[in-house]
């Protein structure tokens, strides 16, 4: 299960990172969990905001076009530098056929510009993080500049100072990756949007170390079947 993999990764980091690093990580995690993201995020029954964003190939994609094909699974993630995001993308990639067999389209949304891997390489980020980057992603990844769409979903937040320090320690240049120095990111929420544009299911963790399981997404899609 995805969240079990995440818990194992958290423990691995705790055992390998120096105490001061772990302290910064846990401090930031607590600050994020204290935010009111769940209260202000879009919930089941809400109308999803319309959007038109570029994918990783530079093609413009819209909500309306996706919904013409069937339900949309829309998942937000922070970036290629985030190990938990990479575990999530890999898990979804590996079971993509199960989602598409339900008649749905899977789309990921990130404030990170396309070409993140090459940017991470040129900035000298730690090899351990590079090794975790999800590659061969064969579903659309949309660039949400400055997390504007995430803000419309009520998911946007500013990364705590403690976590900004952690990123700097790992030579992660957020400004080069996102094109902005605002340090705004989305909560890693996942939505199932029905063809009428309404949210039929959502997972809003307000915790970057928890992600929607594929089995739960599939169960939500089954509920849409007549």
Three-class HEC string of 177-207: HHCCCCCEEECCCEEEECCCCEEEEEECCCC
Mean pLDDT of 82-90: 94
pLDDT band at 225 (very low <50, low <70, confident <90, very high): confident
CATH number at residue 32: 3.40.30.10
Instruction: Please write the tens of the pLDDT for every residue from 182-216.
Output: 899 999 999 999 999 999 999 999 999 999 999 99
Number of domains in the chain: 1
- Is the model's pLDDT at 127 over the cut of 90? no
- Cα–Cα distances (Å) from 52 to 64, 109, 112, 200, in that order, read 9, 12, 16, 21
Query: What 3-state class would DSSP assign to 141?
Result: strand
Q: What is the overall mean pLDDT for the chain?
A: 93
Pairwise CA distance, residues 188 & 209, whole Å: 9
Question: For residue 146, is it left (φ>0), alpha (ψ between -120 and 50) or beta?
Answer: left
Mean pLDDT of 169-177: 90
**Could you tell me the residue range of the domain that residue 25 belongs to?**
2-222
Give me the DSSP letters along 3-50.
HHHHHHHHHHHHHHS-HHHHHHHHHHHHHHHTS-HHHHS--TTPBPPP
Percent of the chain whose pLDDT exceeds 70:
96
Name the pTM for this structure: 0.94
Pairwise CA distance, residues 209 & 195, whole Å: 30
Pairwise CA distance, residues 136 & 114, whole Å: 13
pLDDT band at 32 (very low <50, low <70, confident <90, very high): very high
């Amino acid at each position: 299960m995805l969240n079990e993999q995440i818990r194992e990764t958290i423990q691995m980091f705790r055992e390998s990172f120096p105490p001061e690093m772990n302290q910064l990580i846990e401090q930031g995690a607590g600050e994020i969990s204290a935010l009111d993201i769940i209260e202000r995020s879009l919930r089941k029954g809400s109308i999803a905001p319309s959007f038109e964003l570029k994918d990783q190939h530079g093609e413009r994609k819209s909500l309306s076009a996706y919904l013409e094909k069937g339900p949309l699974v829309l998942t937000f993630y922070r970036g290629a530098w985030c190990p938990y995001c990479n575990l999530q993308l890999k898990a979804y990639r590996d079971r993509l056929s199960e989602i598409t067999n339900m008649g749905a389209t899977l789309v990921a949304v990130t404030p990170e510009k396309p070409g993140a891997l090459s940017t991470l390489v040129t900035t000298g980020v730690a090899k351990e993080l590079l090794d975790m980057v999800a590659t061969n992603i064969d579903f659309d990844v949309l660039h949400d500049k400055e997390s504007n769409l995430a803000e419309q979903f009520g998911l946007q937040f500013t990364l705590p100072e403690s976590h900004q320090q952690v990123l700097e320690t790992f030579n992660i240049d957020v400004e080069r990756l996102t094109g902005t120095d605002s340090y705004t990111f989305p909560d890693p929420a996942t939505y199932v949007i029905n063809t009428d544009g309404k949210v039929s299911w959502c997972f809003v963790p307000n915790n970057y170390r928890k992600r929607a399981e594929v089995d739960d997404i599939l169960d939500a899609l089954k509920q849409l079947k007549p």
